[in-house]
Amino acid sequence: MEAFQYHHRSRSWRALIILGAVYALLLVGLITIDLVWWIAALAVLCTLPAVYEFLTDRRAGLSLTAQELRWFTGTLSRDMALGDIKTVRFDTRWDLSVRVTLILQSDRKLRLPHECLPPHRDFEARLKHAGLHVERHHFAIF
């Protein structure tokens, strides 16, 4: 099996365009329809985590080889031997995001950080190809 690599950066053109569009809409709202300043300020406060991510340009990624699964995000990094993993569980949530949990041989659960995950269908296929047991769960309430 050849190694699978996935890398993600926080700084992207898409993030810059979305932030610019939000600030432009707020400015247009302030000028043309007399948007109340404190509502605009609350909207700007909601965008500050995205601005921080863009400015710090955190990197995240994951690699899968025949022997191990390794991931990193920001300052956190971890690796796990494939033999230590009993099951990989994919949970589709109500917001259509996918949460990935490793269930270890000791029945301990370890959730992979969302920002380091590759597209879930491709990742699931690679995990199956590596010989791991994969479970899919859709829209569980709890």
126, amino acid identity? R
Cα of 133 vs its chain's centroid, Å: 22
pLDDT at 142 over 70: no
Put the strands of the sheet holding 4-9 in their side by side order. 4-9, 59-64, 68-73, 76-81
Neighbours of 35 (CB within 10 A): 16
* pLDDT tens per residue across span 47-100: 999 999 899 988 999 999 989 999 999 888 999 999 999 999 999 988 888 999
pLDDT at 74: 83
> Where in the chain are the domains?
9-56, 60-138
CATH number among 3.40.50.10470, 2.30.29.30, 3.30.420.40, 2.120.10.30, domain 60-138: 2.30.29.30
Q: Given CA atoms 45, 76, 100, 10 in this order, what sign does their dihedral have?
A: positive
Taking all residues of the chain, what is their mean pLDDT, rounded to a whole number? Answer: 91
Q: What are phi and psi of 121, to 5 degrees?
A: -70, -45
- Is the pTM for the entire model greater than 0.85? no
Confidence of residue 33 (pLDDT cuts 50, 70, 90): very high
Q: What are phi and psi of 36, to 5 degrees?
A: -65, 135
